[in-house]
Amino acid sequence: MLQKLEKMDRRIIYLVVFLSLAIPLIWPIGLPISVGPETASLYKFIDSLPARTPVVISFDTSPGGYGELSSGAIALLNHLAKKDLRCIGMGFFDTGPSLMQSALANSLYKGKTYGTDYVNLGYVSGGENAISAVAKDIIAKFPKDFTGKSTSGIPVMQGITTMKDVSLIVTVSSGTPGVAEWIRQVGDPMKVPMATVLVAVNIPNMTPYLNAKQLYGMIPSMKGAAGYEALIGMKALGTSGMDAQSISHLAILFFVILGNVISYASRNKPGSAKGGGRQ
């Protein structure tokens, strides 16, 4: 039995994980969803903003990261649209603005007026240097929007010259430049409230910014998206994905425990050099 398990084809693990994800997506269980304090604080902050307040959303992600961030980004856009806030989009990853177009098309902004209620300014190359330059003069660095139209005099940008003129900056972030660069160049020096929609891998690295109040809030991965959807009362992809998330975690926990048991048992077997870990 132990030998069989030791030589188990790794594709069986893939299959079990696949099924643990696919089955709850097709037949949802409806497990309870909890809202984290970092997600609730972002919701409260946005909810307190008066209508027509400008908010910058920077899509600093690639398609690889967007699969994880899309539900959180769309939930956030829906909240901004519900509150009738001005949404100023941009990106410092070349693929960011294209992904923002997709997110806008799937959000409540679809029914609003482009140029008056929201805009996608596009992409500026240069990473952290570009963030710093854009912060000092937004329109100068985005003379044209993502669709190639001139940004001069568009209503959504009325009264906005620098990042100091916006009430919140949210970076939809999966890498560099991302949260740390935004905080270094804009959040801290210009005293602009910042938040993030973040990939799970980066949560431990970014939590110190929350504790230091350099971030007002965070929508971490699909879990945060599900919580945010619950707060705004619009259940969508984040909520439906959480059953699958929970069941797949159980499957992975099972395999981690099984792997450790096999490793421990084979280590204690006489003459065995297998099992990994400390010999």
Residue 257 near another protein by CB under 8 A: no
Between the two ends of the chain, the Cα-to-Cα distance in Å is 22
In whole angstroms, how close is the CB of 99 to another protein at the nearest point?
11
Considering only 104, 241, 262, 275, the residue that binds another protein (CB under 8 A) is 241
Q: Name 86's bridge partners.
A: 54
Considering only 16, 33, 154, 237, the residue that binds another protein (CB under 8 A) is 237
In whole angstroms, how close is the CB of 128 to another protein at the nearest point?
6
Residue 94 near another protein by CB under 8 A: yes
Given a contact cutoff of 8 angstroms between Cβ atoms, the answer to whether 31 and 247 are in contact is no
Distance of CA 147 to the CA centre of its chain: 24
Considering only 18-26, 32-40, 113-121, 159-167, which stretch makes contact with another protein by CB under 8 A?
A: 18-26
In whole angstroms, how close is the CB of 204 to another protein at the nearest point?
5
Considering only 43, 109, 118, 123, the residue that binds another protein (CB under 8 A) is 123
Residue 263 near another protein by CB under 8 A: no
In whole angstroms, how close is the CB of 125 to another protein at the nearest point?
5
Q: How far is residue 165's CA from residue 159's CA, in Å, rounded to a whole number?
A: 7
Considering only 43-51, 157-165, 237-245, 263-271, which stretch makes contact with another protein by CB under 8 A?
A: 237-245
Q: Which of residues 179-218 bind another protein (CB under 8 A)?
A: 180, 183-185, 187-189, 199-204, 208, 211-214
Interaction pattern, residues 135-164, with another protein; x per rule: CB under 8 A: ------x-xx--------------------
In whole angstroms, how close is the CB of 205 to another protein at the nearest point?
8
What does the longest C-alpha to C-alpha distance in the chain come to? 79
Nearer to another protein, 160 or 203 (CB): 203
Footprint of another protein (CB under 8 A): 11, 14, 21-22, 25-28, 64, 67-68, 70-71, 94-95, 98, 122-125, 127-129, 132, 141, 143-144, 180, 183-185, 187-189, 199-204, 208, 211-214, 221-223, 237, 240-241, 244-245, 248-249, 252
